[in-house]
Amino acid sequence: MANHTVAETIHVPYLEEKGILSWILSTDHKRIGIMYLVSISTFFVLAGIAALLVRLELLSPGKTIVDAHTYNVLFTFHGSAMVFLFIVPGIAASFGNFLIPLMIGARDVAFPRLNLLSYWLYLLGTVIILFSLLKPADTGWTFYTPYSIQTGTDVILLTFGVFVLGFSSILTGLNFIVTVHKLRAPGMTWHRLPLFIWSSYATAILQLLATPVLGITLLLLIAERVFGIGFFDPAKGGDPILFQNFFWFYSHPAVYIMIIPAMGVISEVIPVFARKPIFGYKAIAYSSLAIALISFLVWAHHMFVSGMSEVAATVFSFLTFLVAIPTAIKVFNWLATLYKGSIELRTPMLYALSFIFLFTIGGLTGVFLGTLAADVHLHDTYFVVAHMHYVMIGGTVMGFFAALHFWYPKMFGKMYNEAVAKVAWFLVFVGFNVTFFPQFILGMEGMPRRYADYPPQFHTLHEISTIGSWILGLGILIMALNLLRSLTNGEKAPDNPFNSLSLEWQIPSPPPHENFEKIPHVTDWTYGYGKKNNQEG
């Protein structure tokens, strides 16, 4: 055990107080984290149902269950909800809120009331987006002009909802940065910080700097539709490509807002279940900041076929390859941590290993899309769909599931059924690959994405992909039922069921309201598994 000196706490669990107002008005970071977790999980389910309907429509050529317009509405809702309501706030807002103060030895975040306002803004944004479903948008989640300024659907309400969500993201990022700087416990130096904190810190920087660009872009789009100003309308001298530049200047850093927190989760899970110190701690920590920095410089690789100059295309292609370096540092260091480790294949570890395998495929296929000649052929095909999902689901969602199973006992004080959780993992892993791997082949054969119909020669691969989506959905359903059942019927969780050295595991499960009766004094490195008096940093 780590020599974190923690005074004995008065254990009044944060879950003890009942009633909806005790949650909605609470400034306790743990309750806000749980509210985010419940909210984003709800939209994950809704977006997932939309995805299942999309795949069902693509089961066979021609109309299967819906017409082309309804198909466009379904994939627009799926993309918008999955990106803006689940993946962007996912790990950062839910687990970040719950864990950051616990991991650094603080009683709460720096600005508790601002934290609650962030959640209320998230709820307000979701309500606005749900109202947009009365006349749902059909633009896709990217809202590309000029179609988004011409369609008769309710693009304004949807984009305004995303605009409001942006304020929630900005305030959360600001809160986390100040918390990490100002509220670390004595002895919690920068090089003793858990790697999840480093990843949350890098994510918060991206949230703070990149999100305003999206807000401005969406306001310009709304102004275009309401006042016909002509920013993006070529008929009025505007430039639709300008919208793409603005949108991707935010949205590519947003990819790392989605993935860096998941990388932090993997960096926490692997040392615990390999019973080894994390390999290359400083390299992993600083690579999070490097990814955040480089992510601002690669947005135009989404636009290689939009007519940019050869020089610009070459520069952005090079920068795209450059971002692979800090990402590869993490992967190699995780593998080095696993090497000769005493590996225990508990459910969080299974999801962590799945992350490494699937995210690596997603990253390597990104090299194809960053290569100019290959991208001309693969752009806007199902190859891009597969690549994106291997990064987003194979990466972010697998990291989310790893975090959920790893910290579930700490958050709720209950243990889930391990055997059922492993069955769910197996179905999720198999279902995911059966769903999305055939889409790489579809893309290479020329199947364009976002189409409601396709020629008969693509039928077999689409059919396999749809069957895979059912397996994936079944796995997620079993996982959800297992975790929900454990809330009421699960065994009481020990304070530290996985024998972690991290600070949050040294207090009761679930944690007390104030986290620590006395702020701890940190004397050891978080990852000193199998080593005595490890003083890393």
215-263 pLDDT per residue, tens: 999 999 999 999 988 889 888 889 999 999 999 988 888 888 889 999 9
Instruction: Quote the pLDDT of residue 472.
Output: 97
Residue type, 381: T
Measure the CA–CA gap between 450 and 452, rounded to whole angstroms. 7
For the CA atoms of the chain, what is the radius of gyration?
Answer: 23
Alpha-carbon dihedral sign for residues 338, 340, 342, 346: positive
Cβ atoms 252, 261 nearer than 8 A: no
Q: How far from 468 is each of 42, 307, 438, CA to CA, in Å?
A: 22, 37, 10
Q: How many CA atoms lie within 13 A of 338 on its CB side?
A: 17
Cβ atoms 191, 98 nearer than 8 A: no
| pLDDT, tens only, 428-464 | 999 999 999 999 999 999 999 999 999 999 999 999 9
Instruction: Quote the pLDDT of residue 535.
Output: 47
Q: Which residue has the tokens 């600005």?
A: 111
Measure the CA–CA gap between 14 and 101, rounded to whole angstroms. 14
Return the structure tokens found at 418.
């391990």
Instruction: Quote the pLDDT of residue 3.
Output: 47
235-244: long-range pairs with CB below 8 Å, 24+: 238/145, 240/144, 240/145, 240/146, 241/303, 241/306, 241/307, 243/143, 243/144, 243/145, 243/217, 244/144, 244/302, 244/303, 244/306
> Is 528 part of a structural domain of the chain?
no
Beta bridge partners of 105: none
Cβ atoms 412, 15 nearer than 8 A: yes
Three-point CA angle 389, 200, 255, nearest 5°: 25
Cβ atoms 16, 518 nearer than 8 A: no
> Is 535 part of a structural domain of the chain?
no
Instruction: Quote the pLDDT of residue 529.
Output: 85
Instruction: Quote the pLDDT of residue 1.
Output: 41
> Is 259 part of a structural domain of the chain?
yes
Measure the CA–CA gap between 400 and 419, rounded to whole angstroms. 19
- 415: part of which helix (H) or strand (E)? strand 414-415
Question: Counting beta carbons within 10 angstroms of the beta carbon of residue 241, is it exposed (0 to 12), middle (13 to 18) or buried (19 or more)?
Answer: middle
> Is 423 part of a structural domain of the chain?
yes
CA end-to-end span of the chain, whole Å?
Answer: 19
Task: Cis check for the bond before 146: say yes or no (omega within 30 of 0).
Answer: yes
Measure the CA–CA gap between 333 and 87, rounded to whole angstroms. 25
**DSSP sequence for 244-287:** HHHHHHHHHHHHHHHHHHHHHHHHHHHHHHHTSPPTTHHHHHHH
Measure the CA–CA gap between 520 and 74, rounded to whole angstroms. 50
Instruction: Quote the pLDDT of residue 517.
Output: 81
Return the structure tokens found at 138.
């059909």
- The secondary structure of residue 448, as a DSSP letter, is B
Instruction: Quote the pLDDT of residue 261.
Output: 94
Measure the CA–CA gap between 498 and 416, rounded to whole angstroms. 13
> Is 294 part of a structural domain of the chain?
yes
Return the structure tokens found at 232.
């993006």
Question: Counting beta carbons within 10 angstroms of the beta carbon of residue 396, is it exposed (0 to 12), middle (13 to 18) or buried (19 or more)?
Answer: buried
Return the structure tokens found at 216.
């401005």
Return the structure tokens found at 83.
């990106």
> Is 2 part of a structural domain of the chain?
no
> Is 112 part of a structural domain of the chain?
yes
Cβ atoms 47, 82 nearer than 8 A: yes
What CATH number does residue 277 fall under? Answer: 1.20.210.10
Backbone angles phi, psi at 415, to 5 degrees: -105, 135
> Is 348 part of a structural domain of the chain?
yes
Crossing angle for the helix pair 418-444 and 347-370, to the nearest 10 degrees: 10
Q: Which residue has the tokens 């984009």?
A: 159
With H, G, I as helix, E, B as strand and everything else as coil, classify residue 304: coil
Those residues of the chain that have pLDDT short of 70 are 1-11, 531-537
Q: Which domain holds residue 64?
A: 24-506
Count of domains for the chain = 1
